[in-house]
Structure 1
Amino acid sequence: MIRRALTNTGWLMSARGINAVLSLVYLALATRALGLEEFGQFVVAFTFAQLVVGFAGFQTWQVVVRWGQEADGRDTATGFALALDGVSIAFGAIAAALILSFAGDWLPIDPELRPATFLFTLVSLLAIRSTPTGLLRLHDRYARAAAADATTSVVRAVGAGLIALVAPTIEAFLIVWGVAELATAAMYWRLAARTEPLQFRRISLTRLPRENEGAWRFVFGTSLSAAVSTASRKLLVLLVGVLGGPAMAGIYRVASQLGEGLLKLAQAVLRAVYPELVRDPERARALARQLTRIAMITGLAVVFVSLIAGEWIILAIAGSAFLAAFWPMVLLSASAALELAGASLEALLVARGRAMTTLALRGIPLLIGLAALPWLVDVLGATGAALVVLGATALSVAGFVLTTMDGNRG
């Protein structure tokens, strides 16, 4: 069990490693081609789309893994997941159109950039790939998922290189990022269809909940918990732009891109471990404990590197205009280290059917942090926003630890 979980995590980490290297390439190209102010505007537009997808989307991959273990229930689980994806696309498109049309000056997206932002948001919604991701994980096809994941960064890096040479505009970068989303989604669907034929005739929002009591509670619990996690990062980028302007949002984005690499690793751990926890509940506790120890050592090492080499990394990639990202980067790397340590514990709670508990453990600290955000940004700038993330993460992970300990005693 531990060997398979580590193997699956390894495949996901390989994709994350490729993406991490290539992300530095396209980050360097975008920051230097656009400059501080325009890069900040690009970041705000891109983050808006990510927020819409994050809040409108469901964690359908967890639905597929949870109820698709038996062959006779797989079509029902997949059909339910596909129906939820359709709801996400429709709801997200309507919400984005309304916000961009009627939001006033409080939304830091220039009016002339809003049509391009809407089109990019629509493309991002159409590129939702949670269901095929679930099918690949259900069948332990992590190598295929790793290949599909790498598509995003490859397309972005190549496209950013061409754009930087030919037409370094915000709209051009949004086009490249949109093409990357569609290419990745197409790869995921192609590989999922090769793994298992997709039964689109089984699409239904009612069949699986009718056969499985508590299905809707599970769906809303996992999805809202993911939305809270998204809000703690993506929403903060947008709020930094609202409170401090696009340039500060750009600085914060550079800090998060460099400092939150471990967060992607934490997400890889959760996605790789969750199927194992569902398959073998008896050994789930031991697996979560072993992975947590490994994660703590890795996280401490990355935070140390951020402290020692952070300024040099920022200068080499983004340039001196973004040096203010150093302390936010260090704080966000510490937050990501905590996320990595808590990832397997969160997966354990979800596998036990306690998705609403994870929602509360993430949501309450985030609300506290958001209440303090205006004051912290006013006093400390982007560093204040990073402190909100670190504080919320620390409280959430502490909650995961205490809750799993109580469950163990029970």
Structure 2
Amino acid sequence: MLRRALQNTGWLMSARAVNAVLSLVYLALATRELGPERFGLFVIAFTFAQLVVGLSSFQTWQSIIRWGQDEDDRKTATGFALALDGVTILVGTTVAALVLGFAGDWLLLPEKMRFPTFLFTVASLLAIRSTPTGLLRLHDRYARAALADATTSIVRVVGAVVVIFVHPSIQSFLIVWGAAEVATAAMYWWLAASTEPIHWRRISLTRLPRERRAAGEKAWSFVAGTSLTGMLSIASRQLLVLLTGVLGGPALAGIYRVASQLGEGLLKLAQALLRAVYPELVRNPQGAKLLVGKITRIAAFTGVLVIAFGLLAGEWIITAIAGEDYLAAFWPMLVLAAAASLELAGASLEALLVARGQAITNFLIRAVPLAVGLAALPWLIGLFGAMGAALVVLGTSMVSVTGFALMVRRRLSDAPLEASGTSA
């Protein structure tokens, strides 16, 4: 089980590695071409779209893995996931239109940027790919998922080079980033459909919950818990970038974005680890304790190495990629790397709790410290600038991962692991 989990993580990280290298290229192109102020406005527009997607989307891949272990159930689970995707697109588009129409000034977006930002948000919503991701992971097609993930950075790099020579503007970069999202989603759906036919006729928001209720499970409780946790994990960081710009100005948002892009590389590894480990915990709950312990130790060691590397080479990396105008990102970058290291160590713990039906518990463990951090954000940014936002991330991660560890310890000591299909 450990070997397969690490192999699947390896495929996920191969795509992350390609994206990490290429992201440095397109980050360098965008930061140097636009400069701190215009890059900050681009970051605000991009982050707004990602925040809308994060707040309105569901973690449908987890539903497919949990309820799609046999063929007929998989058809129903896929139809349920597709229906949830439809809700995401409808709700997200409506929210984006209302916010940009009535609160564009609060976002510091000039009038001419609001419609392009809305179009980019719609493209990002149409490009959600949690459902095909779940189908690929269910069949252990992590190599195909890695190929699809690499599409994003390839399109961004090629598009950024073209934009620089043709028409370098914020709107042009938004077009390229939107095209990359759509291209990646198209690749995911094509690869998923070639793995297994997509069961479009089973689209329904009620069929799966009704069948699970008859089996003694609360499907909506699981969906709510995983989705709320996903919202916090994705949207909280996007919200911090957006609020940093609103409270400190576009240039500060740009600096914080550079810090987060360089410092949160481990967070992507943590997310990849969670996605690779979760199916194994569902399939073999009896071996969960051993698997989680081994992976947590590997993750902790990896995190220490990355932070040490950041201390030694961080300033040189920032100067080489973004330029000296962004050197203020150095310490926030290290703080975010430390937070990501904690998330990496806690990823398998979080996956274990989700596999045991503790999705709502996970949400609460993340939500409470995040709420406290967001309440303190204006004061922290006023005192420390971009470092203040990074400290919120670090504090939230420290409390959350500690909570995961305590909860896992209590659950493992209270009772033996249940079967994967039973809510705890």
Question: Which TM-score band applies after superposition, normalised by the shorter structure?
Answer: over 0.9
Q: Distance in 2 between matches of 1:389 and 1:181?
A: 26
Q: Is 1:403 matched with 2:407?
A: yes
1:199 to 2:227 alignment: no
Could you tell me the percent identity over the aligned residues? Answer: 70
- Tell me the amino acid that sits aligned with residue 326 of structure 2: F
Shift of 1:118: 0.1
- Give the match for residue 243 of structure 1: 247
2:164, 2:299 → 1: CA distance?
A: 37
Cα distance in 1, alignment partners of residues 385 and 165 from structure 2: 33
Separation in structure 1 between the aligned mates of residue 153 and residue 66 of structure 2, nearest angstrom: 29
Q: Which residue of 1 aligns with 2:171?
A: 171
Equivalence for 1:70: 70
User: Counterpart amino acid of 2:360?
Assistant: M
Deviation at 1:232, TM superposition (A): 2.6
Question: Is 2:104–2:114's contact at 8 Å kept on the other side of the alignment?
Answer: no
Aligned to 1:373: 377
Give the aligned partner of residue 351 of structure 2.
Answer: 347
TM-score, reference length from structure 1? 0.99
Measure, in 1, the Cα distance between the counterparts of 2:6 and 2:312.
Answer: 29
Is 1:268 aligned to residue 305 of structure 2?
A: no
Which residue identity does 2:75 align to in structure 1?
Answer: D
Indicate the residue corresponding to 1:32 in structure 2: 32
Match of 2:323, as an amino acid? G
**Match of 1:86?**
86
- SS of the aligned residue for 2:339 comes to helix
Distance 1:286 1:99 in 2: 47
TM-score, normalization by structure 2: 0.96
Task: Find the counterpart in structure 1 of residue 10 from structure 2.
Answer: 10
- Offset, 1:165: 2.2
1:64-100 Cα offsets, whole Å, 9 max, x none, are 0000012220100000000000000000000000000
Letter paired with 1:353:
G
**Which residue pairs with 2:117 in the alignment?**
117
CA distance in 2, matches of 1:343, 1:373: 25
Distance in 1 of aligned mates of 2:165 and 2:368: 46
**1:313 matches 2:322:** no
2:361 is aligned to: 357
Work out whether residues 156 and 177 of structure 2, in 8 Å CA contact, stay in contact via their aligned partners in 1: yes
Which residue identity is paired with 1:32?
A: R
**Does structure 1 residue 253 correspond to structure 2 residue 257?**
yes
State the Cα distance separating 1:104 from its structure 2 match: 5.0
Q: Where does the alignment leave 5 or more consecutive residues of structure 2 unmatched?
A: 415-424
Mapped contact 2:303–2:344 kept (Cα < 8 A): yes
Detail structure 1 runs of 4+ shifted over 2 Å in the superposition: none
Q: For residues 314 and 369 of structure 1, what CA distance do their matches in structure 2 show?
A: 27
Please state how far the C-alpha of 1:112 moved relative to its aligned partner.
1.3
Give the alignment's Cα RMSD to 1 decimal: 0.7
Which ranges in structure 1 are unaligned for 5 or more consecutive residues?
A: none
C-alpha separation in 2, matches of 1:398 and 1:372 = 21
SS at match of 2:246: helix
Q: Distance in 2 between matches of 1:387 and 1:127?
A: 32
Q: Does 1:290 align with 2:290?
A: no
Q: What is the 5 A alignment of 1:85-234?
A: 85-103=85-103, 105-212=105-212, 213-234=217-238
CA distance in 2, matches of 1:111, 1:214: 46
Alpha-carbon distance between aligned partners in 2 of 1:102 and 1:238, rounded to the nearest angstrom: 17
1 CA distance for matches of 2:265 and 2:110? 30
Q: Which amino acid aligns with 1:363?
A: A
